[in-house]
A and B are shown apart, each in its own frame.
Chain A
Amino acid sequence: MSTTPAPKALRGLGNYIDDRFHLAKTGEKNLRKVFPNHWSFMLGEIALYSFIILLVTGVFLTLWFNPSMGHVVYDGSYERLRGVGMSEAYASTLHITFDVRGGLFIRQVHHWAALIFVASLVIHMLRVFFTGAFRKPREINWLIGVAIFTLAIVEGLFGYSLPDDLPSGMGVRIFQGVLLAIPVIGTYLMMFMFGGEFPGEAIIPRLYTLHILVIPGILLALIVAHFMILWHQKHTQYPGTGRTEKKVVGTPMYPAFAVKAGGFFFFTFAVIAGLAAFVQINPIHLFGPFTPTSITSGLQPDWYMGFLEGALRIFPNWFDFTIAGYAVPMGVLLPGLGGMGLLFGGLAAWPFIEAWITGDKRHHNVADRPRNAPTRTGIGAAGVTAYGLIWLAGSNDILSETFSISLYATTWFFRIAIILGPIIAFIVTKRICLGLQRRDREILEHGYESGTIQQLPSGEFIEVHKESSPDTVHVLQSKPPARIDIDSTDENGVEPPSGRGAKGRLRARLAHWYTKDNVSFEGVRPHSGHHLHHGATASEEESVKAH
């Protein structure tokens, strides 16, 4: 801390404010708040910063965008489309692109920031999942995160639809198709949303209100809540010396963390602006305006909608049926809404499912190392694999054309891989985790391999193991107990009431499955293995003989 007093003018101002709001104490406390340091704790910040960029550039775009489906004949400075009939929404987007100074750049920044925003939400969420940071007491914040993720995707879809260019219209058409597929209420819902038949005149103004007001408002509120809860509960940290469930080790908010975070904002902004300056994104002026008869191959939604597109593309129509003359298109309904439900429902439910299986009701402020929760890590990898495959399936026509693979072959590949891939990923990941656990145990017992080879008097060659640092030992010893004693009986051999009944038995089975393969560290004393004692000194030589 600096000992030089602040300039007088500043002190005067500070005292003036403090006399009225008594901020000094709160400020001191919060400015000195400690944040643990790890690069993976900054992934959520990328989302925050890209959201800020989205808000700022979005406001800029609203100054000129005209959300109207009123018909005009274009008369702007983009020569190719002069005299072409189009909606006012599309014409005003052309105006932003070609007649507003910096308009095209800001539009591209807005679009790239949207791609980065959702991508950073995904990797932030994966970090939280794999380190078990969603566990008690942070389940509510996890749920808020899932809500932000869901809304971000919907927000992106609506924003994509606004310029009323060719891909916009096709996206809205799919959106309409999915609405129509909902049994009984589907047609009513669609007519309500579109104010009549597709495309009508109402959909763009309505999506505009949702895109610039309702959803960003909710997103902002959720993000604030996310941060307030984070502030209150403090950030999780990885295991290490001095770090406990009750003590956070890290950098104070001010100045170090604020400087780091501020610098990181500028870097995020630089990358997004760099992409916007050099890489063309969503060239609406090339796509041309949407008309209901237009349809093209080789166009996709933005990447975050890709998994839904992929689900629609590979899902077979075998389950479609008709009741009393009303078609129930399961081939649209299941992938369209089922896919979303599975992803968001699964994400939201997982903390509670895991807590129920493990019976773990404790507070966790120290994050898990992914290898120490192999089943969870395996399930996460299976989820990532399933998502990745179905996302790739959304680009099957591009893959087919780029790599000269038959389109039908890609469909069948993805149909089979979507079932086999996650299973393989689960098994492989879990095995890798268990292998790492064994290595951890080995290092804890024997120290690390020094790379020094020694010849014993007997002629035998050995590699000298050296003692790991206290910090490493601490990290390795932080591994939670291997098994959960969920089906333990009391001293009279009676099983607990919770273990009875179908639910209890299912839970016991799941708990067994969840932890059965864990490597036990029980009774392992650090550096007690005999390799370590193959030292060069005479005294250690003796201990070798004693073995």
Chain B
Amino acid sequence: MKWITARRRHPLAGYVVVIIALAFFGVGYAFVAPNADRAQAQTVAAGSEEAPVDISNGKQIFVQSCASCHGLDGKGTENGPDLTGVGAAAVDFQVSTGRMPSMNPDVQMPRRDPVYTEQEILDLAAYVDQEFGGGPAIPEQAPGLAPQRSDFEDESEYKAAKEQYEAAYEQYIAGGDTEAGMKLYMTNCAHCHSWSGAGGALTDGRWAPEIHEATPREIYEAMITGPGAMPVFNDTTITEEEKQSLIKFVKDLQAEPDAGGVFSLDRIGQVAEGFIGWTVGMSLIVACAIWITAKQRAHD
């Protein structure tokens, strides 16, 4: 007879099972529960090391990947807009979010992994800025993409760069004022990107993208260049400090754990809550009504 078979009908077996189950859930919860490390786990960006830009490399990239739509002279074609005066920030935003080079010029591009490295993007941005007339510069003070392991030869160098980047990120996010940022975001941004930054539907089949993965620098650049249907919020409309506050508000909110339960319903809110209320809540209760009635003896 197996060991378990001999003991499973023991009077205390039930309690043992309950205790094991409780221990299992308790320990399991300790693993799953949000803690400071995980809440902070954010994709973040690299420190602004002053690297020399190589404009000729930028030109080469432009000719290879951009000129077919924007034209060799940057004046645009029927497939792509004029780049006169767009500036380095616009190039950095479009290319670092992977929206450019675009696969299909007729549709709104979603965010993708960038095709070029940070250095290549800087080269390209410098070329476009110099060749087609200057525009807003890259906001170096806001941290951009986090350093990638593949860009570094050895582990220690990568770790150092990452630490430096994270410190810069923390410092930037710590700098702003939540209340000012919240008011600016709720007044200017939330009606398209929604209160949680999850994005939303716009007119004419367009949409405002979600901004969870956007780095502080990309959010900053989007504000000063106004990509797509987005209006421009230049540094006179919303000052540099105000932009920092706004970005702090967005990033803090995104890093905030969901206190209300394991299932946050993607912070969609009431539509998801109503859906769960009906599909899970009501179905379970009605199923129970059916079950109780079916289990009832016929005449008692």
Contact = CB atoms under 8 A, between A and B. Distances in A.
Are A and B co-members of a single complex? yes
A288 B186 contact: yes
A529 interface: no
A296 B190 contact: yes
A4 interface: no
A461 interface: no
Contact of B277 (A40, A115, A298, A299): A115
A324 B190 CA distance: 37
A125 interface: no
B16 interface: no
A280 B289 contact: no
A11 B190 CA distance: 69
Interface string A20-31: 000000000000
Indicate the member of B202, B259, B263 with the most A CB atoms within 10 Å.
B259
Interface string B17-58: 000000000000000000000000000000000000000000
A322 interface: no
Given A283-B258, A401-B201, A395 B293 contact: no
A275 B260 contact: no
A408 interface: yes
Interface in A405-433: 406-409
B181 to A, nearest CB: 10
B179 A84 contact: yes
A299 B193 CA distance: 11
Nearest to B282: A119
Contacts of A43: 286, 289
Nearest to B278: A119
Contacts of A296: 186, 190-191, 194-195
B195 A287 contact: yes
Contact of B259 (A271, A280, A291): A280
A344 B260 CA distance: 34
Interface stretch (B89-97, B130-138, B265-273): B265-273
B273 A39 contact: no
A139 interface: no
A278 B269 contact: no
A97 B259 contact: yes
B274 A297 contact: no
A38 interface: yes
Interface in A111-154: 111-112, 115-116, 119-120, 123
Please classify how large the interface on chain B is, using the bins under 10, 10 to 19, 20 to 34, 35 or more: 35 or more
B195 A166 contact: yes
Interface in A454-497: none
Contacts of A400: 201, 207
Given A112-B277, A283-B260, A397-B201, A167 B270 contact: yes
Q: Which of A38, A97, A285, A299 has the most CB of B within 10 A?
A: A299
B276 to A, nearest CB: 6
A515 B255 CA distance: 62
A297 B185 CA distance: 12
A327 interface: no
Interface residues of A, number: 73
Contact of A37 (B182, B199, B282, B296): B296
B29 to A, nearest CB: 12
A188 interface: no
A315 interface: no
B260 A104 contact: yes
A295 B190 contact: yes
A119 B194 contact: no
Contacts of B253: 80, 286
Interface stretch (A256-264, A329-337, A359-367): A256-264
Interface string A32-61: 000001111011011000000000000000
A300 B270 contact: yes
A102 B142 CA distance: 40
Contacts of B262: 278-279
Nearest to A407: B201
A187 interface: no
A42 B293 contact: yes
Contact of A407 (B199, B202, B278): B202
A251 B205 CA distance: 58
A298 B194 contact: yes
Contacts of B205: 406-409
Interface string A81-122: 111110000000000011000001000100110011001100
A256 B281 CA distance: 26
A380 interface: no
A39, A104, A166 — which one has the most chain B CB atoms within 10 A of its CB? A39
A276 B273 CA distance: 11
A294 B286 contact: no
B201 A297 contact: yes
A42 B289 contact: yes
A80 B256 contact: yes
B183 A293 contact: yes
Given A38-B293, A280-B259, A267 B269 contact: no
A398 interface: yes
B270 A303 contact: yes
Contacts of B299: 251
A277 interface: yes
Contact of A297 (B200, B204, B282, B290): B200
A268 interface: yes
A272 interface: yes
A288 B182 contact: yes
Given A119-B277, A286-B256, A302-B270, A39 B178 contact: no
B187 interface: yes
A463 to B, nearest CB: 30
A469 B293 CA distance: 22
Contacts of B276: 275, 279
A280 B286 contact: no
Contacts of A293: 183, 186-187
A374 interface: no
B11 interface: no
A306 interface: yes
Given A46-B285, A260-B292, A291 B183 contact: yes
Contacts of A397: 200-201
Contacts of B293: 37-39, 42, 260
Contact of A279 (B252, B265, B269): B265
B294 to A, nearest CB: 8
B254 to A, nearest CB: 10
B267 to A, nearest CB: 7
Point out which of B187, B194, B278, B285 has the most chain A C-beta atoms below 10 A from its C-beta. Answer: B285
Contacts of A295: 186-187, 190-191
5 contacts: A46-B289, A104-B260, A263-B292, A271-B284, A279-B260
Interface of A: 37-40, 42-43, 45-46, 80-85, 97-98, 104, 108, 111-112, 115-116, 119-120, 123, 166-167, 251, 256, 260, 263-264, 267-268, 271-272, 275-283, 285-288, 291, 293-303, 306, 395-398, 400-401, 404, 406-409
Given A268-B288, A275-B281, A298-B199, 11 more contacts: A80-B252, A108-B260, A116-B282, A120-B285, A260-B292, A279-B280, A291-B186, A297-B193, A300-B270, A408-B205, A409-B205
Interface of B: 178-179, 182-183, 186-187, 190-196, 198-205, 207-208, 252-253, 256, 258-265, 267-271, 273-274, 276-278, 280-282, 284-286, 288-290, 292-294, 296, 299-300
